[in-house]
């Protein structure tokens, strides 16, 4: 008779690590996707906000507040709003674990 207990422990730990890694990976992908949608939505709202001629600082503050509230993980690098006589523009940069970056840029011409 062979003792299989040691093999079972090794198999269990390998499988457990793999399952945990898989869950973490799925959660990260989901969070990243959620972040992209949230950034695009906040960016669009900020763009409409300056197009409505609300104070630029207020629009910027609102977008920052929303992003920081909804995306506690990751770092918000920049929320920039620009306007000229014929266009409005928003730029948002967000970093997730240093190497995954989300850049959102949209302009509205009138």
Alpha carbon separation from 3 to 7, 14, 15, 16, 24 (Å, rounded) = 9, 19, 20, 22, 34
Q: Which string of x and - marks every residue 42-81 that binds another protein (by CB under 8 A)?
A: --x---xx-xxxx---------------------------
Write down the least CB distance from residue 16 to another protein, Å: 8
Number of C-beta neighbours around residue 50 at 10 A? 20
Closest CA relative to residue 39, chosen from 84, 97, 79, 86? 79
Q: Please check whether residue 63 is in contact with residue 46, taking contact to mean a CB–CB distance below 8 angstroms.
A: yes
Does position 98 bind another protein by CB under 8 A? Answer: no
Nearer to another protein, 30 or 73 (CB): 30
Q: Site residues (CB under 8 A) for another protein?
A: 4, 7-8, 11-12, 15-16, 19, 22-23, 26-27, 30, 33-34, 37, 41, 44, 48-49, 51-54, 85, 110
């Amino acid at each position: 008779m062979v003792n299989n207990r040691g093999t079972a422990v090794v198999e269990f730990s390998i499988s457990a690590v793999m399952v945990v890694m898989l869950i973490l990976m799925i959660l990260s992908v989901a969070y990243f996707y959620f972040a992209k949608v949230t950034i695009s939505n906040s960016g669009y709202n900020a763009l409409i906000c300056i197009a409505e001629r609300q104070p630029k600082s207020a629009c910027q503050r609102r977008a920052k507040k929303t992003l920081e509230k909804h995306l506690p993980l990751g770092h918000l690098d920049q929320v920039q709003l620009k306007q000229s006589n014929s266009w409005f523009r928003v730029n948002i940069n967000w970093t997730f674990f240093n190497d995954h970056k989300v850049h959102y840029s949209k302009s509205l011409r009138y």
